[in-house]
Chain A
């Protein structure tokens, strides 16, 4: 009898297991391809809605404020935020297939790179940030360090500093970019060598631009007596608070929110100035997974994934984020907002958001009635090449001359001509008016944003060519 029982129990257990396994629970391959856009949205108005917002760790505080405000306005919506590194945040959507309604990344470029086209098709840039060096008043040399000598202080043997793992966290690769850019800024070609190369296996190759190569995380192999590397910037905070490190590279916002003391770095190296992308572009970082991150100003991006369950509510949330109220929250917490927010594909964003954003650059192939004229005013021919003004203004630094700001003229010429010193240049307006100048002259000139007018510091007003369409070099 006992034996029969044993057999019976065994059979039942095995049968249940067998049935479930055979019904195909084990191998459930997920198709990561096309995700249906037809998600039901009628969950609204039916009691509480859980709005999932996944975001970069450095957005935790401002988004908590936005959440509070949002829940005040929409009593039936419960915002559930989840913070992680930006890469991980996006991977939660693209690899773990979690249901997410809003994704906010500390690097706006990651959204198009990792989510287009299957998971998203627009990115709204809404705030900026910059790299600072945080410390406490227990850090060694804290009362000596300043904007001009920080790299000397970090070099000292009794100073330990930290940055986050470049492979895992944009703040990490930006920190090492800052240290590399410092070599140009302070004219000291040993800064990166002494701070990074000597203490880790992260190496830089520099010619006119620098490529920093980051090995696999296991092989970064930091000299733990001198530097602390952690997966995420947030984990370094406890390092500073427990005096494990004296200084660490971190976003301004985090330093402000954590009430750390911090040194502001010059805008040429802090990645905080959108108009200095040309300088930042001199550095890029090759990560262990092969991706190359170009030095660019830090811009936060937000998107609503295509498979969002609560599209309507997500739109409301983003709307608050980029509205005046949202901007104020970001301002107070050390993350300067972009006013207005900038979107890459304006045709793809929900219609309710259109009034709050401007488009990054006009689409080139939109046929208009007066196509020839539009072409003339939006592009500039330099030697054999043609550029849009947007390209030029994003790649060249801005200067101010006679109370007018514009794009540095010599930089514009360098874009189109290889050895610019060898030529003189005819600046030609759309009406045919032209003036000839030397390359030296152009170093004191700008191209203003409105009217595409050239302005020189030292030349008479006659040289102010309006509506310039071409720069023609001659020997």
Chain B
């Protein structure tokens, strides 16, 4: 009986895997089979630079998300207060907001005459900080939510025990809570990075230039057509896949 259930689940699971695999494999393979265009794009400095810029911006966005998101997550996991539900709901909003709306909202705040932009010495419009800020906005919920779950799963009694033995709150956080929740935080960071990589709609509103990978894919589709944009998309996918596999291996080793 037990085996039957597991086999049924395995079949359903396999179908889900196919659902993910087929479109991706189809995209990558059909791009690679179109060898000439694929090589052309793979050796195109502009394309590679844009992918690098995507990676870098997404990484910086993740770093910022980590620095500001993890403390908030810890706070939410440990404290109960009036209006907490509201805050938790608020954190999820960027995931729901249509990307272009997010872009417009950011433009009105970080634009040259925006609420913050007019006082800022950093330039956001058509500049890398604009890309990062758009990525950060749409992706920060992931690291906050994952980390909060991580901290919630850490037994408070462990922290209390450490406190009774004279450890400072910061020391407890650093030596007990953070390491125990690390796996969640790490996965959250990876998700944040991934979400940042994939963003397009919000970014084109605030920073069409310099062009990141997703902007180039869109532009190639508009100017030269599906073949060229598919090639860039495939290259981007392959790079992302490599990064993902590498990160998974890394965390497995750590475990």
Provide the residues of chain A in CB contact with B103, threshold 8 Å: 238
Contact pattern, A 208-248, Cβ under 8 Å of B = 1, otherwise 0: 00000000111101101000111100010011011110000
In chain A, what residue has the closest Cβ to B211? Answer: A218
A215 to chain B, nearest CB (A): 11
Given contacts A167-B223, A231-B218, A289-B223, contact A9 B10 (CB under 8 A): yes
CA distance A218 to B17 in the complex (A): 36
Cβ-neighbour of A217 out of B22, B25, B211 (below 8 A): B211
In chain B, what residue has the closest Cβ to A290? Answer: B224
Are B223 and A217 in contact, CB atoms less than 8 angstroms apart? yes
Interface size, A (range): 35 or more
Are A13 and B107 in contact, CB atoms less than 8 angstroms apart? no
Are B25 and A224 in contact, CB atoms less than 8 angstroms apart? no
Provide the residues of chain B in CB contact with A217, threshold 8 Å: 211, 216, 219, 223
Whether A168 sits at the interface, judged by CB under 8 Å, is yes
Are A20 and B208 in contact, CB atoms less than 8 angstroms apart? no
Cβ-neighbour of B223 out of A26, A168, A244 (below 8 A): A168
Are B10 and A228 in contact, CB atoms less than 8 angstroms apart? no
17 A-B pairs (CB sep. < 8 Å): A8-B6, A13-B13, A13-B17, A21-B18, A26-B25, A26-B29, A27-B33, A88-B222, A165-B208, A167-B219, A217-B223, A218-B50, A224-B126, A224-B209, A228-B125, A229-B208, A287-B223
**Secondary structure of the B side of the interface?**
helix
Whether B11 sits at the interface, judged by CB under 8 Å, is yes
Whether B226 sits at the interface, judged by CB under 8 Å, is yes
Chain A residues 1-46 with CB under 8 Å of chain B are 5, 8-9, 12-13, 16-17, 20-21, 25-29
Given contacts A224-B209, A288-B223, contact A12 B112 (CB under 8 A): no
Whether B85 sits at the interface, judged by CB under 8 Å, is no
Contact pattern, B 165-188, Cβ under 8 Å of A = 1, otherwise 0: 000000000000000000000000
Are B10 and A13 in contact, CB atoms less than 8 angstroms apart? yes
Chain B residues 197-233 with CB under 8 Å of chain A are 204-205, 208-209, 211, 216, 218-219, 221-226
Provide the residues of chain B in CB contact with A9, threshold 8 Å: 6-7, 10
CA distance A85 to B218 in the complex (A): 12
Whether A95 sits at the interface, judged by CB under 8 Å, is yes
Given contacts A216-B46, A230-B204, A238-B104, contact A243 B226 (CB under 8 A): no
Provide the residues of chain A in CB contact with B104, threshold 8 Å: 238, 242
In chain A, what residue has the closest Cβ to B108? Answer: A242
Given contacts A8-B7, A87-B222, contact A228 B126 (CB under 8 A): yes
Whether A91 sits at the interface, judged by CB under 8 Å, is yes
Given contacts A96-B226, A167-B222, contact A12 B18 (CB under 8 A): no
Cβ-neighbour of B22 out of A25, A222, A244, A289 (below 8 A): A25
Are B224 and A27 in contact, CB atoms less than 8 angstroms apart? no
Closest 4 CB pairs of A and B: A16-B14, A224-B126, A243-B113, A168-B222
Are A224 and B125 in contact, CB atoms less than 8 angstroms apart? yes
Provide the residues of chain B in CB contact with A21, threshold 8 Å: 18, 22
CA distance A5 to B17 in the complex (A): 20
Whether B30 sits at the interface, judged by CB under 8 Å, is yes
13 more A-B residue pairs beyond the given contacts A217-B223, A222-B209, with a C-beta to C-beta distance below 8 A: A13-B17, A17-B14, A17-B18, A21-B18, A26-B22, A26-B25, A87-B222, A95-B226, A228-B125, A231-B204, A238-B104, A242-B111, A244-B125
Provide the residues of chain B in CB contact with A88, threshold 8 Å: 221-222
Are A218 and B222 in contact, CB atoms less than 8 angstroms apart? no
B42 to chain A, nearest CB (A): 16
Are B226 and A20 in contact, CB atoms less than 8 angstroms apart? no
CA distance A5 to B29 in the complex (A): 33
Cβ-neighbour of B112 out of A96, A243, A288, A289 (below 8 A): A243
In chain A, what residue has the closest Cβ to B222? Answer: A168
Are A27 and B111 in contact, CB atoms less than 8 angstroms apart? no
Contact pattern, B 21-61, Cβ under 8 Å of A = 1, otherwise 0: 11001100110010000000000001000100000000000
Are A16 and B15 in contact, CB atoms less than 8 angstroms apart? yes
In chain B, what residue has the closest Cβ to A15? Answer: B14
Are B114 and A242 in contact, CB atoms less than 8 angstroms apart? yes
Are B205 and A238 in contact, CB atoms less than 8 angstroms apart? yes
Provide the residues of chain A in CB contact with B7, threshold 8 Å: 8-9, 12
CA distance A9 to B73 in the complex (A): 38
A184 to chain B, nearest CB (A): 28
Contact pattern, A 144-172, Cβ under 8 Å of B = 1, otherwise 0: 00000000000000000000010110000
Are A218 and B14 in contact, CB atoms less than 8 angstroms apart? no
In chain A, what residue has the closest Cβ to B224? Answer: A289
Are A13 and B14 in contact, CB atoms less than 8 angstroms apart? yes
Contact pattern, A 78-111, Cβ under 8 Å of B = 1, otherwise 0: 0000000101100100011000000000000000
In chain B, what residue has the closest Cβ to A16? Answer: B14
Are B107 and A238 in contact, CB atoms less than 8 angstroms apart? yes
Are B6 and A243 in contact, CB atoms less than 8 angstroms apart? no
